[in-house]
Amino acid sequence: MIEKFLSYLQLEKNYSAHTVDAYRSDLEKISTYLKDNFGCDTENATHQFLRSWMVDALEAGVSSSTVKRRVSALKSFYKWRKKIYGVVVDPTAKLVLPKIPKRLPVFVEEGALIADEFKPVFADSHDGIRDQTIVELFYNTGIRSAELTGLKLNSVDFEQGAIKVLGKRNKERIVPVGKPMLSALKSYLDFRFDLEKIQEPEYFFLTQKGKKLYPKLVYRIVNDYLSQVSSISKKSPHVLRHTFATHMLNKGADINAIKELLGHSSLAATQVYTHSSVEQLLKVYRSSHPKS
């Protein structure tokens, strides 16, 4: 039944492979717990069984946000069962979800990314130029890691100064790119075309072996870079996405424009960055206003 549900998400809801895998992982973990502890599956689970799973997961150190996400996956599963098979019982209906502390997005201070004295030196090679271009593209566009690895060669429009990005649920969006970034992309292509063997030519960024980039490599590239320019605790590609949005907002960009650039389906997802902007405004006010 879970596999049928996942097929529905992929084929009818048009969810990305990454999202479907996340649903599979969450549902399988719950299913395994139910089987091991109560000898049943998700279809026969009760409110008490699921509450027991939730308590045990939290006591085992699973974060509140992860538990809440897995319950959300379950709710979607039962909602689908009701729609397709007419099953009304939803054992998650009365589950009291754990509270999640509100956390502001982590971002890098502006000076650490644009000041020349803070810029690490990249090797004058395919990998070096590629890594530098990747970091700059994340900061210049705010695209997601999966969107960068999936970027196609024909998705970059050098004449219009834009890239076509395939986001969540296979939704396409156009993201503008400035002249310095376009120049960096062109410089990378000079090295890319010199690779001895290109096995997946349709993708823009490639490994030394000519294959499509993989998530762990992209994470390592960004982590190594941020470790040299910042002392922040989190050093992932998503931090550069947060940084892009925060810096745009601090410079006066309209929040609706940022929403479109990030590919958010709801403005609520973008509004988290206004908290960071308010903190910036408070600093300016306190340091500048005579009666602050």
Single out the catalytic residue among 144, 192, 235, 247.
144
Of 15, 23, 33, 273, which is the active-site residue?
A: 273
CA distance 89 to 79: 10
Our answer to whether residue 144 is catalytic in this structure is: yes
Look at 130 and 231; give whichever has higher pLDDT. Answer: 130
In 126-140, which positions are buried (b, 16+ CB within 10 angstroms) versus exposed (e)?
beebbbbbbbbbbbb
What gap in Å lies between CA 184 and CA 172, rounded to an integer?
23
The values of phi and psi at residue 173, to 5°, are -145, 155
Task: Give the mean pLDDT of the chain.
Answer: 90
Could you say which of 168, 173, 212, 219 is catalytic?
A: 168
For the chain, state the CA radius of gyration.
22
Domain annotation for the chain: domains and CATH numbers: 2-85 (1.10.150), 110-287 (1.10.443.10)
Residue 110 has a pLDDT of 80
Q: What are phi and psi of 162, to 5 degrees?
A: -155, 160
Give catalytic status of residue 51 as yes or no: no
Q: Is 126 a catalytic residue?
A: no
Q: Is 247 a catalytic residue?
A: no
Res 116 pLDDT > 70: no
* Rounded distance between C-alpha atoms, residue 219 and residue 185, angstroms: 19
Over residues 155-178, the mean pLDDT reads 93
Catalytic hit among 130, 192, 235, 241:
241
pTM of the predicted model, to two decimals? 0.74
pLDDT tens for each residue of 26-83: 999 999 999 999 999 998 899 999 999 999 999 999 999 999 999 999 999 999 999 9
